[in-house]
Structure 1
């Protein structure tokens, strides 16, 4: 099974996908004139503006749901794997993919807002919706929706829960070994799996509002606590920091494991962690209640910084500054750097736990278990919401009675299975899911750009209104030549009577025409 999964991953995660991720990020960075830098202050302002409604959640709640998907086991075990297989230089390429990916995140999330729909009393949107409406290719949208339901409902939850199970076992021991139909399993992992599934069941049966309410409290608190612990570890080893930074930049171009390994693992784990281009962020972005689609695109762009430049960097510095890592060579059992026992898996939270434990004895193991539980648990919640949204998309055309319950049951089963099984198998399945979604989404948003440029037009429209100093932002897709944005067409028609008299219309018109031209 493992060899089959590895072979599939070798095809999906070929150099072509790595260059596609980096290339798309660079492409949209140039087109938006590096929006991730120019409008950084605006991102911060928008983060705390806006309110929820009966149909949509607030910008901050949407960010929290999105971050719950981005900040997960990839920030702890994923970073360790990048270093373990790609060397310290892999961290540099994680930074690169995050910086460029912020522009991709703006683009896909703005598209999610532009082409969203109102479905059963709440906003729904995502790649499947904008592929159908902007590309006019329903078959492509269906492929993405089905692939995403399989990826987020079956393949990816196990990666998150596996990290929790491994961390719990490292912290508390295996306990009794129980013989089951799935093989010999540790009692610790079984009890951990049961606990996760019980709490998860309570939340996912409560809908998106309950998911948003839970994540908006847990994610910021846990991320901040994690960064504080990381800063403590770094501060107590401050003399080693210059050497670590030097190793990251030096090894990025002449790495010990080969330049291809550093780039490959840095991009793979960078995309897995921050999800820019993967197509998951637009689902949460579409659920937000905002005045203009570009606003949520900017907020979601900021989330990439939080995920990779803050949380992933914190993990990387802890591991490298304490030397709590090995670097695997080309063959089995061959190490280019070996600081830890050979049996310690790179695809696990062990490196991070060891790093914290060295500096803060008695804190590292239980703290990483707690951090992984909340990070990974909230990520599983985000996966459920994404899978449910794509199922809702399919149900617009087909009647699928009982599929909502089947999705919940399958995700819970996958979560349980991932908790108790091996890390390599879980990560392999997760990489397949991430890779498939990334291929489909990045190709799709590039095609959409060449058809009508909706995300770029929306950004120019927003900046023109901002420059004109309007008090209430509006979005008129018809005027911008954006077709298929039915939600915003209807909304603008309702708003136009009330808002037009308040805005400096003539000045705004000239500014918009100039910017769009």
Structure 2
């Protein structure tokens, strides 16, 4: 098993360095310029739209706000807790700078995904088919790329999210609950707490996704604001507690972003590359820009204004990259948990990582209570991501084989969740990096090819227009 884990990690590293990094950062820079820095120019309008958008009589199962919350709920997953913590401990404090950097350019990527997702969806009343498959097929006129994306997205949703999200939930609860080991056939000894968590989360996920996108949207509408507010409040308490350390930590983040020494201290000269690799990898895991998932979520909205959904995506990416991800990274840095873990790893030991590192940081400011806050937030983060990604994978599978396989897919998805909860975190995150990277390439080709159309929506204002007259180039 360690050999397999190492092979997966090496494959993920080779995909991200330099290929995925170049595609995402380069593509994000190009789209930012092509859309005339829409994330800055229309930020105030995006904030207003987030708070006031209403249905406009168009087809679609969800209101614009429900579509926004579904996308936000799916993207703010345990990647914002466990993934960001892993980035800091594996790539050093400088990884936070690259999370911010990618987050800025990712906003333009996600604006395009949301706009094109609504523009090229196939909607008949409450029945909606949306996602990059449709703008690749109907906008870019490339059925082959559409099929390739759908295959990667379906396999990725089925083999990453049911593993990464319950795994982080299990790690968080194991940190605050007494746990023992249970021996399973073929799997050996596993954490009893993680196993029970996986079984419970699997049942709860099934209870929602079996009802389809309307039930998913209603659940996300209620849970997404709760999880963001609770995590933000807990994180601010930690930051206020260690406010004196904040200036030096911010200086450390910027200094280490361009350091020549890797976090582990064993690969001098590779520090910048490691910080970039983990910063971008965990940044895209946190905000999902580049995966194409925004096109699926925002394509379900009862709206005839693609630019409205694009502005929702601007706020979603800002909240993920600049709020929740920053809370995770800064709390483990100002509390010293990250530095201690890095030192232990340098000495050949196993320091705190994943959700346990953030729980440890919260506990330093709020003993016991802090760990429970992180555990509860990890559950909410992971749960809403699980139900959102179930729909994403379902849409990709429906594109490939039609709706007849949907119910079987939902059952398999839920049955995999307990196995994800007891898996090794390092293998889970490496596999997630690799599978998600495969979605990036066809999706980014579509975004770059249709950038001219997205740019027209980026400069469009007013609420009376429809999509008429804006055709794909």
Q: TM-score range by the shorter chain?
A: over 0.9
Q: 1:272 aligns with which of 285, 290, 294?
A: 285
User: How far apart are the structure 2 equivalents of 1:363 and 1:327?
Assistant: 21
The 1:144–1:426 alpha-carbon spacing in structure 2 relative to 1, beyond 3 Å, is: same
Q: In 2, are the aligned partners of 1:156 and 1:433 still within 8 Å (CA)?
A: no
Q: 1:285 aligns with which of 298, 310, 321?
A: 298
The 1:119–1:391 alpha-carbon spacing in structure 2 relative to 1, beyond 3 Å, is: farther
Q: In 1, are the aligned partners of 2:122 and 2:128 still within 8 Å (CA)?
A: yes
Partner-residue secondary structure (3-state), 1:13: helix
Shifted more, 300-309 versus 166-175: the winner is 166-175
Shifted more, 63-72 versus 9-18: the winner is 9-18
Mapping of residues 229-244 of structure 1, within 5 Å = 229-244=234-249
User: How far apart are the structure 2 equivalents of 1:52 and 1:293?
Assistant: 12
Deviation at 1:250?
1.4
Deviation at 1:241?
0.9
Aligned counterpart, 1:480: 470
Aligned counterpart, 1:17: 20
Shifted more, 115-124 versus 422-431: the winner is 115-124
Q: In 1, are the aligned partners of 2:38 and 2:458 still within 8 Å (CA)?
A: no
- Is 1:344 the counterpart of 2:346? The answer is no
Aligned counterpart, 2:6: 3
User: How far apart are the structure 1 equivalents of 2:139 and 2:74?
Assistant: 25
User: How far apart are the structure 2 equivalents of 1:222 and 1:324?
Assistant: 23
Could you give the per-residue CA deviations for residues 200-245 of structure 1, whole angstroms, max 9, x where no partner exists? 1110101111111011111111111101111111111111111111
Mapping of residues 255-404 of structure 1, within 5 Å = 256-257=261-262, 258-326=271-339, 335=346, 342-346=349-353, 348-395=354-401, 401=404, 403-404=405-406
Q: 2:46 aligns with which of 43, 46, 59?
A: 43
Aligned counterpart, 1:421: 423
Cα RMSD (Å) of the superposition? 2.0
Q: In 2, are the aligned partners of 1:156 and 1:429 still within 8 Å (CA)?
A: no
Aligned counterpart, 1:182: 187
Structure 2: runs of 5+ lacking an equivalent? 263-270
User: How far apart are the structure 1 equivalents of 2:89 and 2:191?
Assistant: 26
Deviation at 1:391?
1.9
Partner-residue secondary structure (3-state), 2:61: coil
Partner-residue secondary structure (3-state), 1:166: helix
| Structure 2 length-normalised TM | 0.93
Partner-residue secondary structure (3-state), 2:128: strand
Q: 2:99 aligns with which of 94, 102, 106?
A: 94
Q: In 2, are the aligned partners of 1:86 and 1:327 still within 8 Å (CA)?
A: no
Partner-residue secondary structure (3-state), 2:337: coil
**Which one has more relative contact order, counting CA pairs under 8 Å at least 6 apart?**
2
Aligned counterpart, 1:63: 68
Aligned counterpart, 2:449: 447
Q: In 1, are the aligned partners of 2:333 and 2:339 still within 8 Å (CA)?
A: no
Could you give the per-residue CA deviations for residues 474-501 of structure 1, whole angstroms, max 9, x where no partner exists? 221xx33437xxxxxxxxxxxxxxxxxx
User: How far apart are the structure 1 equivalents of 2:233 and 2:345?
Assistant: 35
Deviation at 1:8?
2.2
Q: In 1, are the aligned partners of 2:11 and 2:434 still within 8 Å (CA)?
A: yes
User: How far apart are the structure 2 equivalents of 1:216 and 1:325?
Assistant: 33
Deviation at 1:290?
1.7
The 1:405–1:68 alpha-carbon spacing in structure 2 relative to 1, beyond 3 Å, is: same
Deviation at 1:159?
0.5
Partner-residue secondary structure (3-state), 1:169: helix
User: How far apart are the structure 1 equivalents of 2:383 and 2:261?
Assistant: 35
